[in-house]
């Protein structure tokens, strides 16, 4: 069996685990990062996209609000290229308690969240589709973040410092020698090959799965309540500012404009299974109704896709099984030496994507102590690869690049403006034949046609570049279509239904995907 040896093994390649591995690398430790799937394929790739200003928690959870604004300011500096500075509004709609607005303003003052009340008429000039009956509006420094760009920038930084990043390597056993965790065994998804990773310290950053991984180390009682939420992407930006309802946090009260779409969310319900991504029609309906309160006509707009994610909510003494919205959003760092008498093992869970850097800092400060040579954290100032210029991403960047090279760029994905050269580079960089991995990297197939026009072109390019057999290329195409279909079918109405029919004709009528050599499950793809 293959074996690796390292200072720090990080289990979980979401924002938290990747952040921990980045922090470890910057402190000069050797690190191995593993995930059972692609990076950020867990909750981090299924979140709402918001870098919180802290406003959402200003009344209910002042500690969380302070952490958010603190991290918001840092992330804007170190991850500038992954962030779009869209700003945020908190608006009082006719459905919201008008008295909350003053509490909100005071809460922001108390927690250092930058907040300015503006005239609703000004807000409507900036966001003409907003409900004209809003009575008060507060401007806050919300932003959006492209999480896939972020984790892969972190991964590049880790690799550049000698660290190893192993997506699609699931931990199947955690090794213990007496009272000490000494590493873990991982299994590669494609080959089934197992690798023993020996580590001086093992960090469990597996989010909603942290309890299961802790059990592998023989540690009971790490209870993480998975809080499930749905989100719906609309086919374009109905607003260009993050719009939050000015009320106690509840379902469907935020619209985040991100990249070419805007996303409404979310719900928060307890689930027993963090891998259950069922979407109920009633949830979709309720979410669209909530959208109407912020943007009248929301239901007539084109809903493109729905998905779910699970919050890793660490259970505290007050929490019940069903009221996940009331469980703290603060993170939990469990030092199992102190808690359970088990050396060499630390769990980090809970928190928010906005606070992943802070979670990583706290974790590595504890790990560094265990390693006996406390080294300082530098993640507050060290920019991520690609963010050295400290310039924010802005919508229109891709269009600008395209227009600068109109003659020589062949577009593969028109919706997200992915040129052929970029696609070929990504396939080679990632050394993957999984078009869904490429999607996360480039947003290939994430626009209104959901891959209807670009994915067979991309499959042909993948086939030519990677020397795949026709069956392997077909399998990659089918895997992509199956994944896309999961998020499309629960929300089919209006224009998106028409689009799905067109895609169906392309894939069944023209390409006959049902009868491709690798197509035993093709029927479930688009019909």
Ligand X SMILES: Cc1cc2nc3c(=O)[nH]c(=O)nc-3n(C[C@H](O)[C@H](O)[C@H](O)COP(=O)(O)OP(=O)(O)OC[C@H]3O[C@@H](n4cnc5c(N)ncnc54)[C@H](O)[C@@H]3O)c2cc1C
32 near ligand X, judged by CB under 6 A: no
154 near ligand X, judged by CB under 6 A: no
CA distance 230 to 252: 9
Residues 6+ apart with CB under 8 A from 304: 233, 234, 235, 261, 448, 450, 488, 491, 496
How many helices, marked H, and strands, marked E, lie in the chain? Answer: 16, 22
The Cα-based distances of 207 to 214, 261, 411 in angstroms read 11, 27, 37
167 near ligand X, judged by CB under 6 A: no
176 near ligand X, judged by CB under 6 A: no
Judged by CB under 6 A, the residue of 6, 7, 26, 52 near ligand X is 52
SS3 assignment, position 282: helix
DSSP symbols for 314-358: E--TT--SS-GGGS--SEEEEEHHHHHS-BTEEEEEES-GGGHHH
**Nearest to ligand X of 251, 504 (CB atom):** 251
34 near ligand X, judged by CB under 6 A: yes
First CA to last CA distance, the chain: 44
351 near ligand X, judged by CB under 6 A: yes
16 near ligand X, judged by CB under 6 A: yes
CA distance 256 to 238: 10
DSSP symbols for 370-403: HTTS-----TTTPPPTT-TT-----TTHHHHHHH
CA distance 341 to 153: 36
13 near ligand X, judged by CB under 6 A: yes
How near is the Cβ of 35 to ligand X at its closest, in Å?
Answer: 4
**Nearest to ligand X of 74, 468 (CB atom):** 74
How near is the Cβ of 325 to ligand X at its closest, in Å?
Answer: 11
Write each residue from 209 to 228 as x if it is in contact with ligand X (CB under 6 A), else as -, in one continuous string.
Answer: x---x---------------
SS3 assignment, position 148: helix
41 near ligand X, judged by CB under 6 A: yes
3-state percent breakdown (helix, strand, coil) of the chain, nearest 5: 40, 25, 35
How near is the Cβ of 399 to ligand X at its closest, in Å?
Answer: 26
Indicate the residue whose CB is closest to ligand X. Answer: 14
Residues 6+ apart with CB under 8 A from 474: 459, 513, 516, 517, 518, 519
How near is the Cβ of 98 to ligand X at its closest, in Å?
Answer: 26
Judged by CB under 6 A, the residue of 82, 233, 353, 491 near ligand X is 353
Beta bridge partners of 90: 138, 244
Q: How many residues bind ligand X (CB under 6 A)?
A: 40
Beta bridge partners of 331: 350
**Nearest to ligand X of 13, 257 (CB atom):** 13
266 near ligand X, judged by CB under 6 A: yes
Contacting ligand X within 441-500 (CB under 6 A): none
How near is the Cβ of 360 to ligand X at its closest, in Å?
Answer: 10
284 near ligand X, judged by CB under 6 A: no
**Residue 330 near residue 63, CB atoms below 8 Å:** yes
Nearest CA to 200 out of 16, 75, 373 is that of 373
65 near ligand X, judged by CB under 6 A: no
CA distance 46 to 277: 10
Judged by CB under 6 A, the residue of 25, 43, 247, 260 near ligand X is 43
Judged by CB under 6 A, the residue of 27, 32, 33, 36 near ligand X is 36
Contacting ligand X within 98-127 (CB under 6 A): none
How near is the Cβ of 231 to ligand X at its closest, in Å?
Answer: 6
307 near ligand X, judged by CB under 6 A: no
How near is the Cβ of 498 to ligand X at its closest, in Å?
Answer: 28
**Nearest to ligand X of 277, 299 (CB atom):** 277
242 near ligand X, judged by CB under 6 A: no
**Nearest to ligand X of 213, 304 (CB atom):** 213
Task: Mark the segment that binds ligand X (CB under 6 A) among 292-300, 308-316, 490-498, 502-510.
Answer: 308-316
How near is the Cβ of 343 to ligand X at its closest, in Å?
Answer: 21
CA distance 336 to 225: 19
SS3 assignment, position 224: strand
**Nearest to ligand X of 12, 120 (CB atom):** 12
352 near ligand X, judged by CB under 6 A: yes
Residues that bind ligand X (CB under 6 A): 11-17, 34-37, 41-44, 47-50, 52, 170-171, 205-209, 213, 229, 231, 265-266, 309-312, 351-354
């Amino acid at each position: 069996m293959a074996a690796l040896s390292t200072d720090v093994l990080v289990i979980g390649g979401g924002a938290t685990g990747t952040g921990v591995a980045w922090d470890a690398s910057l402190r000069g430790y050797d690190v191995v990062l593993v995930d059972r799937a692609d990076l950020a394929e867990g909750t981090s790739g299924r979140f709402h996209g918001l870098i919180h200003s802290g406003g959402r928690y200003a009344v209910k959870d002042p500690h969380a609000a302070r952490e958010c604004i603190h991290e918001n300011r840092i992330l804007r500096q170190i991850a500038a290229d992954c962030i779009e500075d869209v700003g945020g509004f908190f608006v009082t709609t006719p459905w919201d308690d008008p008295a909350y607005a003053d509490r909100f303003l005071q809460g922001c003052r108390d927690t250092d969240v930058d907040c300015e009340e503006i005239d609703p008429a000004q807000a409507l000039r900036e966001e003409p589709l907003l409900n004209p009956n809003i009575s008060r509006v507060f401007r806050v420094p919300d932003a959006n973040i492209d999480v896939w760009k972020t984790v892969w920038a972190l991964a590049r930084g880790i690799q550049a410092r000698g660290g190893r990043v192993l997506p699609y390597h699931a931990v199947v056993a955690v090794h213990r020698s007496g009272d000490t965790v000494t590493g873990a065994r991982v299994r590669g998804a494609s080959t089934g090959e197992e690798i023993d990773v020996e580590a001086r310290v093992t960090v469990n950053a597996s989010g909603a799965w942290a309890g299961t991984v802790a059990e592998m180390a023989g540690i009971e009682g790490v209870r993480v309540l998975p809080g499930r939420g749905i989100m719906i992407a609309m086919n374009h930006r109905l607003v260009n500012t993050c719009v939050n309802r000015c009320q106690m946090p509840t379902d469907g009260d935020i619209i985040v404009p991100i990249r070419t779409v805007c996303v409404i969310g979310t719900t928060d319900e307890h689930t027993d299974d963090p891998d259950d991504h069922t979407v109920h029609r009633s949830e979709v309906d309720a979410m669209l109704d909530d959208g109407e309160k912020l943007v009248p006509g929301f239901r007539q707009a084109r809903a493109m896709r729905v998905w779910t994610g699970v919050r890793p909510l660490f259970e505290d003494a007050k929490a019940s099984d069903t009221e996940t919205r009331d469980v703290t959003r603060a993170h939990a760092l469990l030092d199992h030496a102190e808690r359970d008498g088990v050396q060499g093992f630390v769990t980090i869970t809970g928190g928010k994507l906005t606070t992943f850097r802070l979670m990583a800092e706290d974790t590595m400060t504890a790990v560094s102590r265990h390693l006996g040579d406390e080294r300082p954290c530098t993640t507050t100032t060290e920019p991520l690869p690609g963010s050295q210029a400290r310039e924010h991403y802005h919508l229109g960047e891709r269009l600008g690049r395209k227009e600068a090279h109109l003659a020589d760029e062949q577009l593969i994905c028109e919706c997200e403006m992915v040129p052929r050269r970029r696609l070929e580079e990504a396939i080679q960089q990632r050394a993957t034949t999984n078009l869904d991995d490429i999607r996360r990297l480039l947003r290939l197939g994430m626009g209104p046609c959901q891959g209807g026009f670009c994915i067979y072109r991309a499959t042909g390019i993948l086939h030519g570049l990677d020397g795949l057999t026709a069956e392997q290329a077909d399998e990659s195409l089918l895997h992509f279509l199956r994944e896309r279909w999961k998020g499309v079918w629960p929300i089919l109405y209006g224009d998106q239904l028409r689009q799905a029919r067109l895609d169906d004709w392309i894939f069944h009528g023209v390409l006959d995907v049902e009868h491709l050599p690798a197509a035993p499950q093709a029927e479930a793809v688009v019909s």
